[in-house]
Amino acid sequence: MISLLSTLAPLLCGGLLAATGAGKLFGRQVARQAAGTVLVRLLGDGRRAARALRCVGAAELAVAAGLLAAPRAVASCGAAAVLGAGFLGYLGYAKATAPRSSCGCTAGEEGPIGWRSFTRAALVVAAGLAAPAADGTWWSAPAGRPVASAVLVLLAAAVLVVLFGGVDRLWLLPLRRARLRVFGHPLGGPAAGAPVAASVELLERSLAWQAASAVVRSGLLDHWDEDGWRILRYAGVHEGGQGARPVNVLFALDLAATVDNTPRPAVRVTVVDDATDEVVQVPLPTAAPRTLLPLAEPA
Amino acid sequence: MNTGHQHGRSGDRRGFDRRRFLTRAALGGATVVGASALGGLDAEAAFAEPMPSLDPAIARSTFAEGRISRVNGSVLEVKGSYGEQHLVQLTNATSVWKLRPTTADAIKPGDGLYARGVDMPDGTIAADAVWVNIVNILCTIRGIAKDRLHLSHGRHAVVGHLHAAHTTASYLGGAQTADLSRLRIGQSAQILGAWRPEDDGIDVARVTAGH
């Protein structure tokens, strides 16, 4: 199996390099691809980075051609190993100095450098080192062991597909969907009680909120539940007769009420002086709620 | 160590008594019944279009955004996205949002910030509300696990961390619920949450799924 793998390594590595090299050399979005890489900082500007990326693409294509045409030649295997080692060095440097930069390795990837990039580069090195040890050329291997060769090529192709982030949707999403179907949804179903966010949402759509809006200044400061009530505390400023003074604005709502089950929420509103803890009588202008316009009836 | 413990307990007790007092006050308040069409001041409001407000206090508000370069006591030094500098003064009436309502202790240098407040004569902004690391992005759900959602935003993969006590979902415009079991792979979802500077993920506060 190992000898078969080293015999087929030039084919697989050549295929990988041909795909990524062609993407870099002929890709339309190489400039955009280059813009996210550490090359921009190394070379000074984006245009030079794009040119460098295209040169790397040309080199990859040349090595791929060498590997495919002369799989056992020391020159092509050595070039692949050196290219792979160069990639590893570049990736290590980029990861260390600019962890957020993208690698620019393939057209489909824009995210930060991850394990996929390192694995691809390591595989190129491994293929370059393994190829000279092969028993024969990759095109003669299927003649001797056709089934094993086909299985190995398919397996290797699957590994390469996994190593390309851009084609995730082809295999990863169906796999994850199938896992959800088999093992069930991992996230819990309906929980008892309404979350605080639902109470805040209800409050902010209530007439009480509108009435108190002249006083409230802060976002939600604190909340707690007691005796079936949910208390929401906000900070505000009350401009009364003695000038402006800081106050707490307290809203009390039914613990279970949400916008789904309570179209007209009843909210208790209290304004408490922050310094003296006295309840401040604030007139709450409860303007009439907007009347709903009649909906058009379908004919 | 012991003293600290005692301190903490008496602090809790004071907080507990204060809450009981405020609860009694809150339940004695006037009841206002009805729904309105006005928006709120919650996390989402950080992204709202500026609009004329009925409230003169809001009209006087100023807004600051940027990255926190230094936390100096209760003053945050904020470097704005356009090179400007803000000094944001926190008070005990300032609400702090970082995935959930929290306190100023949760704010760290390097965090992003949106703040609403009032300009002070000394050039600082006295903050009424700050939202730390808040992000609100349209994503596609690419994977669902027990404690995280795998999301893609444009061509970027983003990990959304779920928190049982704080993550809610809203389906088809319904009320927010802790029930996340109706999320599906492939679905578009608006994700409101707190960005995590340490790993570039998002702590998810709310998933709004349209279908």
Tokens of B32: 């206002």
Q: What is the ipTM of this complex?
A: 0.85
User: Which of A172, A218, A265 is facing B95, going by the closest CB pair?
Assistant: A218
pLDDT, residue B59, reads: 56
Contact between B101 and A187 using a beta-carbon 8 Å cutoff = no
pLDDT-based confidence at residue B106 (cuts at 50, 70, 90): very high
Q: How far apart are the C-alpha atoms of A96 and B96, rounded to whole Å?
A: 34
Contact between A266 and B32 using a beta-carbon 8 Å cutoff = yes
Chain B residues in contact with A267 by the CB 8 A cut-off are 31-33
Indicate the SS3 state at residue A184. Answer: coil
Q: How far apart are the C-alpha atoms of B92 and A275, rounded to whole Å?
A: 12
| A62-101 pLDDT per residue, tens | 999 998 888 888 888 899 999 999 999 998 988 888 877 7
Q: How far apart are the C-alpha atoms of B168 and A196, rounded to whole Å?
A: 9
Residues with Cβ within 8 Å of residue A118, at least 6 apart in sequence: A88, A91
Tell me what the mean pLDDT of segment B69-95 comes to. 94
Task: Tell whether the model's pLDDT for residue A178 goes beyond 60.
Answer: yes
Tell me what the mean pLDDT of segment B35-46 comes to. 58
Tell me what the mean pLDDT of segment A153-177 comes to. 80
B201-209 and B168-171: which strand pairing? parallel
| A8-28 pLDDT per residue, tens | 888 888 888 998 888 888 888
Contact between B23 and A248 using a beta-carbon 8 Å cutoff = no
Task: Tell whether the model's pLDDT for residue A225 goes beyond 90.
Answer: yes
Compute the C-alpha angle A196/A200/A203, nearest 5°.
Answer: 140
Identical fold between B43-132 and B134-209? yes
Q: How far apart are the C-alpha atoms of A137 and A68, rounded to whole Å?
A: 9
User: Which of A220, A268, A284 is facing B26, going by the closest CB pair?
Assistant: A268
Q: How far apart are the C-alpha atoms of B169 and A225, rounded to whole Å?
A: 21
8 A C-beta contact, residue A33 and residue A47: no
Can you identify the CATH homologous superfamily of domain B134-209? Nucleic acid-binding proteins (2.40.50.140)
Q: How far apart are the C-alpha atoms of B172 and B138, rounded to whole Å?
A: 15
Distance in Å, alpha carbon of B134 to nearest chain A alpha carbon:
14
3-state secondary structure A222-283: EEEEECCEEEEEEEEEEEECCEEEEEEEEEEEECCCCCCCCCCCEEEEEEEECCCCCEECCC
Chain B residues in contact with A263 by the CB 8 A cut-off are 35
pLDDT above 90 covers a percentage of chain B that reads 62
Q: How far apart are the C-alpha atoms of B64 and B85, rounded to whole Å?
A: 9
Task: Tell whether the model's pLDDT for residue A290 goes beyond 60.
Answer: no
Residues with Cβ within 8 Å of residue B18, at least 6 apart in sequence: none
Where b means 16+ CB within 10 Å and e means fewer, A161-189 reads eebbbeebeeebbeebeeebeeeeeebee
Mutate to test the interface with B, among A213, A224, A232 (most CBs of B within 10 A): A213
Contact between A204 and B42 using a beta-carbon 8 Å cutoff = yes
Q: How far apart are the C-alpha atoms of A177 and A171, rounded to whole Å?
A: 10
8 A C-beta contact, residue B180 and residue B169: yes
Distance in Å, alpha carbon of B198 to nearest chain A alpha carbon:
12
Where b means 16+ CB within 10 Å and e means fewer, B161-188 reads bbeeebbbbbbeeebbbbbbebbebebe
Task: Give whole-number Cα distances, A2 to A5, A73, A96, A124, A130, in Å.
Answer: 5, 19, 34, 16, 9
Identify each DSSP E strand in B90-210 by its residue range: 95-98, 100-102, 112-119, 125-132, 134-144, 148-153, 156-161, 168-171, 188-196, 201-209
Tokens of A39: 């090359």
| Phi, psi dihedral angles at B166 (to 5 degrees) | -125, -20
List the 149-208 stretch of A: residues with Cβ below 8 A of B: 165, 168, 172-173, 176-177, 180, 185-191, 194-198, 200-208
Task: Tell whether the model's pLDDT for residue B54 goes beyond 50.
Answer: no
Best CA proximity match to B109, nearest among B198, B46, B47, B42: B198
Contact between B180 and A221 using a beta-carbon 8 Å cutoff = no
pLDDT-based confidence at residue B48 (cuts at 50, 70, 90): low
Contact between A186 and B39 using a beta-carbon 8 Å cutoff = no
pLDDT-based confidence at residue B8 (cuts at 50, 70, 90): very low
Q: CB contact, 8 Å: A209 with chain B?
A: yes
- DSSP per-residue codes, A1-15: -HHHHHHHHHHHHHH
Radius of gyration of chain B (CA): 19
Distance in Å, alpha carbon of B85 to nearest chain A alpha carbon:
23
Can you identify the CATH homologous superfamily of domain B43-132? Nucleic acid-binding proteins (2.40.50.140)
8 A C-beta contact, residue A235 and residue A175: no
Distance in Å, alpha carbon of A286 to nearest chain B alpha carbon:
8
Contact between A268 and B183 using a beta-carbon 8 Å cutoff = no
Distance in Å, alpha carbon of B4 to nearest chain A alpha carbon:
24
Radius of gyration of chain A (CA): 33
Contact between A266 and B31 using a beta-carbon 8 Å cutoff = yes
Tokens of B37: 């069409």
Helix H or strand E segment including B69:
strand B62-72
Indicate the SS3 state at residue B111. Answer: coil
Mutate to test the interface with A, among B16, B31, B33 (most CBs of A within 10 A): B33
Q: CB contact, 8 Å: A224 with chain B?
A: yes
Residue ranges of domains in chain A: 2-183, 196-280
| Phi, psi dihedral angles at A295 (to 5 degrees) | -80, 150
Residue ranges of domains in chain B: 43-132, 134-209
Nearest residue on chain B to A258, alpha-carbon basis: B175
Which residue is associated with the tokens 């009805």? B34
Distance in Å, alpha carbon of A44 to nearest chain B alpha carbon:
23
